[in-house]
Every structure is written in C-alpha cells, then in structure tokens.
Amino acid sequence: MLPIADSSNDGDGSFDILSNHSPDEEYLGEQIEAPWAEDAIIKAAFERFSGRLKELEGIIDERNAKMN
C-alpha cells in the first residue's frame, strides 16, 4: 500500500530540512574565540581538546575505511 501524498510530502520536507547545512554553522574544535585565546590555561585546554578531536576523527575515518 502506498503512503498518502500528504504524508509523503511531510517526509520529504523533513528530510530536506535535516540534510541541509546552515551557512553559519560552526564545528567543534576548529577555532578558539578571541577572548578565550588570551588566557593561556584556556588556550592550552582548547588545543588539547582540538588535538583529541583530530585523533578521534582519524580513528573514525580508519574504521570507516575498513568497513568499505
């Protein structure tokens, strides 16, 4: 049995909204905000955090490559 046209359109709209990226989106660990960068302790913590995110990204990429 096929879905009713209205429910199909709702699903398409939801998919479109969820799959688009915002033009002003930001990614974790990419850039430290200027006021925080002035504090050496915060800057060091951010650099550790950013480095760990890059390590995790590498692990995920490696695992994904093994699955394909």
Q: How far apart are CA 55 and CA 49, in angstroms?
A: 10
Nearest to 36 by CA among 20, 47, 23: 47
**Residue boundaries of the structural domains of the chain:** 36-68
Q: Which two tokens stand for residue 37?
A: 């960068």
* pLDDT 10s digits, 35-66: 999 999 999 999 999 999 999 999 999 999 99
Query: What pLDDT does residue 1 have?
Result: 56
